[in-house]
Amino acid sequence: MNALKQGWFSEINGLWPGIAQSLEVEKILYEGQSEYQHVLVLQTKSYGKALVLDGIIQCTEKDEFSYQEMISFLPLCSHPNPKTVLIVGGGDGGVAREVAKFPGVEKIYQVEIDNKVVEVSKQFLPFMAKGFSDPKVNLHIGDGFEFMKQHSNEFDVIITDSSDPVGPAISLFQEPYFALLKKALKPNGIVCCQAGTVWSNLDQVQDTLTHCRSIFPKVAYGVSSVPTYPTGQIGYMLGSLNPETNFNEPLKTFSEDELDKMELRYYSDKIHRASFELPRFAKKSLKL
């Protein structure tokens, strides 16, 4: 791959023109082409193991917990009593690992399109893939968009932990997908989707927000910092069927002891509230 040169991996992609983060590579642990995408696992010098799909960094050992905790706990703590959760994507297992920690969650269904991602994650990224061994998790290999068509009124929370809107994930960012999410939710259900950042993908965030607003009476957009994502930040789009949902104020909060027992390293109720506090330019552009 062009992106691997002289011991460095550079994340060159048209989604963030003119910028590319580089990680020094100690070893290529795996490289192959699955039915859906190019799959690369790297041992990096400063961020531990890294999973890269189609040239885009999905997660690294050092900072993955920020994303996995936030995309899971923002929606779960905003729902009054989440019992049945669906994860779309998430082939590394990190979101399943976090959702399984949440008190009261009884069943976790997951639909991931690419079994190769699951296999390499189990082999090289066990600190995330351990999510798959929780007995509550029921993994199905298939296309998330097709899966959603077959489900109605089943889930309290749906988390879309997809790759970026290129390749197999394109359909997961478009309006028909949000309509299917709505149908698959139980009353007062909540969705949370990976959404781009206001620094490099403001247009994409605006589009996803527009789709979400056209379907859900209550929406919010929060962010967390993840150093190895473009611009060091990632966004989360939340939608609720209940117009009374106040995403800014978590319904479920945890003591420091409880957070320690769940091994949460990023999420807390203060971080939850702060994640929705956006800079003025972003609030104005996104009309939040």
**Which positions lie near ligand SAM, rule CB under 6 A?**
53, 58-59, 67, 88-92, 111-114, 117, 143-145, 161-163, 168-169, 171-172, 194
Cβ-Cβ contacts under 8 Å for 28 (sequence gap 6 or more): 4, 40, 41, 42, 43
Q: Which is nearer to ligand SAM, 129 or 245 (CB)?
A: 129
Q: Residue 208 belongs to what H/E stretch?
A: helix 202-215
Distance CA 11, CA 8 (A): 10
Distance CA 180, CA 31 (A): 34
Q: Which is nearer to ligand SAM, 140 or 270 (CB)?
A: 140
| Least distance CB 117 / ligand SAM (angstroms) | 4
Q: By the 8 A CB rule, do 247 and 240 touch? A: yes
CB atoms within 10 A of CB 107: 14
| Least distance CB 253 / ligand SAM (angstroms) | 25
Is residue 207 part of the annotated active site? The answer reads no
φ and ψ at residue 183, rounded to 5 degrees: -65, -35
| Least distance CB 201 / ligand SAM (angstroms) | 12
| Least distance CB 111 / ligand SAM (angstroms) | 6
Distance CA 225, CA 18 (A): 21
Distance CA 235, CA 225 (A): 9
Task: Considering the candidates 54, 114, 156, 161, report the single residue annotated as catalytic.
Answer: 161
Q: Which is nearer to ligand SAM, 221 or 254 (CB)?
A: 221
| Least distance CB 280 / ligand SAM (angstroms) | 26
Sheet of 4-5: strand order equals: 4-5, 8-10, 22-33, 38-44, 48-53, 56-60
Q: Which residues are annotated as catalytic?
A: 161
